[in-house]
């Protein structure tokens, strides 16, 4: 009957608010389930090992339950991305310190992200990035710029790029992933300057 229909929430933030108010782990599980495919995919992307990625995903469920009440979260998707990346990088560093033969391509180009950075990146869509790509490309690191241009503007596959540049496939994946992130940060910074300029013009008018 409709009286017993499960409540449907409009957004991640609404689910999060109801979880914090009620402490009901089923609500948090529903929120995590919405993103679990992306969480696992991100873990696999960084760790390059299915079992390690599965373990990391389960660890993250427990970690998020502990961390979520300690954090002021404006953009759940951005915050989640921050926590997942941070966790994966911690695993990479731990395995590297223990001399484990981890096949992560990210180990030669990684840094611990900040939650506000992740929120900024999530605020820029891929379509916006592609529309404005040529403006920001010159500001990327050379290897990132080359791979981004070949992949997005010349429609080359990873293998084609590897043949043309002598980069490994793992290096190409890393350069494209980090290049996309940096492009979005450049665009976000440009939009902030534009908004500031508009506000200044209004005040002087």
| Nearest C-alpha neighbor of 179 from the set 155, 157, 150, 154 | 150
pLDDT at 119: 59
Residue 113 scores a pLDDT above 60: no
Domain of 86, in residue numbers: 9-122
- 169 part of a folded domain: yes
Q: How many CB atoms lie within 10 A of CB 51?
A: 8
Backbone angles phi, psi at 157, to 5 degrees: -80, 165
Q: 122, 144, 170 — which closes off a domain? A: 122
Q: What is the count of structural domains for the chain? A: 2
The structure's pTM equals 0.54
Q: Are residues 15 and 113 in the same domain?
A: yes
Q: Identify the three-state secondary structure at position 103.
A: coil
- 118 part of a folded domain: yes
Instruction: Pick 56 or 127 by higher pLDDT.
Output: 56
- 3 part of a folded domain: no
- 78 part of a folded domain: yes
Q: 68, 103, 122 — which closes off a domain? A: 122
72-112 pLDDT, tens digit per residue, is: 888 888 888 888 888 888 888 887 766 555 444 444 444 44
CATH number of 128's domain? 1.10.10.10
Radius of gyration of the chain from Cα atoms? Answer: 20
| Cα–Cα distance, 130 to 101 (Å, whole number) | 36
Q: Are residues 37 and 60 in the same domain?
A: yes
Mean pLDDT of the chain: 76
Q: Are residues 182 and 156 in the same domain?
A: yes
156-167 pLDDT, tens digit per residue, is: 999 999 999 988
Q: How confident is the model at residue 45 (pLDDT cuts 50, 70, 90)?
A: confident
- 101 part of a folded domain: yes
Q: Are residues 58 and 141 in the same domain?
A: no
Least confident stretch, 48-62, 157-171, 178-192? 178-192
């Amino acid at each position: 009957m409709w009286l017993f229909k499960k409540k449907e929430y409009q957004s991640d933030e609404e689910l999060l608010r109801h979880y914090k108010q009620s402490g009901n782990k089923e609500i948090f599980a529903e929120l995590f389930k919405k993103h679990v495919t992306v969480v696992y995919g991100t873990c696999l992307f960084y760790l390059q090992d299915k079992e390690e990625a599965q373990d990391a995903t389960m660890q993250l469920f427990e970690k998020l339950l502990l961390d979520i009440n300690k954090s002021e979260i404006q953009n759940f998707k951005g915050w989640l991305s921050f926590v997942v990346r941070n966790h994966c990088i911690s695993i990479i560093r731990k395995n590297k310190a223990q001399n484990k033969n981890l096949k992560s391509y990210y180990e030669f180009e990684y840094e611990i992200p900040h939650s506000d950075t992740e929120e900024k990146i999530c605020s820029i869509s891929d379509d916006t990035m592609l529309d404005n790509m040529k403006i920001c490309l010159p500001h990327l690191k050379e290897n990132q710029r080359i791979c981004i241009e070949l992949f997005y503007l010349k429609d080359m596959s990873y293998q084609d790029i590897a043949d043309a540049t002598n980069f490994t496939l793992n290096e190409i994946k890393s350069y494209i992933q980090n290049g996309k992130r940096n492009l979005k940060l450049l665009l976000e910074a440009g939009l902030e300057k534009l908004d500031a300029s508009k506000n200044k013009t209004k005040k002087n008018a």
